[in-house]
Chain A
Amino acid sequence: MTTVIGTAKRKVTIRQVQIQANSERYAYLFMRMSGVALLVLAVGHMLIQHVLNSSGNLTLLFVADQWNSWGWRAYDMFLLAFAVAHGLNGLRNVLEDYIHNPNTTKWISRFLVAFGIITIIWAGIGIASFDSEAARAAQEALRQSLGQ
């Protein structure tokens, strides 16, 4: 169905078209949006870890201090989720270029989705359950045992 939604000031006719959406369209939109999000999240991560802080100071204590805040935990969870999903969808695109059997590509997609979900949940649990106090105590104990 086509509906003319008007000719704008530029005299260009813009029409609204109803298209049956498919998963590829959503995958395309996701790649664009996650790409922009990753640009902010990944570049921000790199600036924080390697420019604003020296990479020599990236110890357990640094992580304990950072993950004391739920804001930073959320930041890292978003980074994790977008990076894993964006990367795996990219891998699916590459594989589907060269693997032509529809059944094989279907199973590859399913495997990659399952792998992505498990990775995100597994790493998400790691971030969410991280105990900053215990990490600080462990670091302190380590320092004392080394006599520093």
Chain B
Amino acid sequence: MQVQLRIRRYNPEQSNKPWWGDYTLQNVNRTDTVLDLLHRVKWEIDGTLALRRSCAHGVCGSDAMRINGANVLACKTLVSSFSREGSNQAKIQVEPILGLPVQKDLIVNMEPFFEHYRSVLPYMINNDPAPADGRERLQSPEDRARFDDTTKCILCAACTTSCPSFWANDKYVGPAAIVQAHRFIFDSRDQAPAERLQVVGDTFGVWRCRTAFNCTNACPREIEVTKAIAEVKIALATGEV
């Protein structure tokens, strides 16, 4: 099939203005991913195209992009999802994720995103000595289940950069950082839920969430992001985790 691929290009060394690059690709399989198409452009048409990708299998989270207006991972998005059954044509538009400064083409500066991520102390804090048997700190399956969903985050930033509140104000910690906070706040083995709740309970924390649900729609790992944010709000309101 034939694909009309439109890519938002930007190279600050050449021009301050971004532009659209149009590429027509032939002999595309319906089962190809958008990442495959971007590779074809980079390897066969224009080697200057800049993009991030690593595993290409939806695990590393490097290639979050705005494809036909929605934040997705290019490596998990099939060409067939933009073409009707039986049609041999598709139009695909690829842009960098919104709300973070674009460095070149599809590459954005992730540092503001990771700054928010680090602010929620995204690591286990437990000052008790390790168990006498030297093995792991145990918890019940029910306790583990409370934060199971939020352990799936791969930090691709698809949720945060789909959030209208984050677009409006980049001081908002954003859905991804709250998901990471949730993962530790509700972990019975962690001893610092109060510190994390202090961060996400700030003026630029969970209260900025307007429950638009864009984050939940965007998450390539199908994490119920808005639900996790609501659970953190309830924890802040009740003081119970």
Contact = CB atoms under 8 A, between A and B. Distances in A.
Interface in A1-15: 1-2, 5, 7, 10-15
A17 B197 CA distance: 9
Interface stretch (A18-26, A63-71, A73-81, A111-119): A18-26
Contacts, number: 71
Contacts of B139: 13
Contacts of A29: 237
A27 interface: yes
A1 B194 contact: yes
A24 B168 contact: no
Interface in B193-207: 193-194, 197-198, 201-203, 205, 207
A18 B239 contact: yes
A70 B193 CA distance: 48
10 contacts: A2-B194, A5-B240, A17-B235, A19-B236, A20-B198, A24-B207, A25-B236, A29-B237, A97-B169, A100-B171
Interface of A: 1-2, 5, 7, 10-20, 22, 24-25, 27-29, 93, 96-98, 100
Contacts of A28: 207, 233, 236-237
B237 A16 contact: no
B200 to A, nearest CB: 10
A68 B197 CA distance: 50
B193 to A, nearest CB: 5
B194 A17 contact: yes
Interface string B174-214: 00000000000000100101100110011101011010000
Contacts of A5: 240
B240 A14 contact: yes
Interface stretch (B23-31, B82-90, B97-105, B140-148): B140-148
A13 B240 CA distance: 10
Contacts of B198: 19-20
A117 B171 CA distance: 30
Contact of B143 (A13, A22, A96, A100): A13
Contacts of B141: 11
B241 interface: yes
Contacts of B208: 97
B33 interface: no
B203 to A, nearest CB: 6
Given A11-B140, A12-B142, A19 B201 contact: yes
A29 B234 CA distance: 9
Nearest to B203: A24
**For the complex, would chain A's binding face be called helix, strand, loop or mixed by DSSP majority?**
mixed
Given A14-B240, A24-B205, 15 more contacts: A2-B193, A11-B140, A12-B140, A12-B143, A12-B146, A13-B188, A15-B193, A17-B239, A19-B198, A22-B202, A24-B201, A25-B207, A28-B233, A98-B168, A100-B169
B193 A22 contact: no
A19 B240 contact: no
Contacts of A25: 201, 207, 236-237
A89 B89 CA distance: 49
Nearest to A27: B207
A16 B143 CA distance: 15
B226 interface: no
B165 interface: yes
A5 B239 CA distance: 12
Given A22-B203, A24-B201, A16 B142 contact: no
Given A28-B233, A97-B169, A15 B188 contact: yes
Contacts of B235: 17
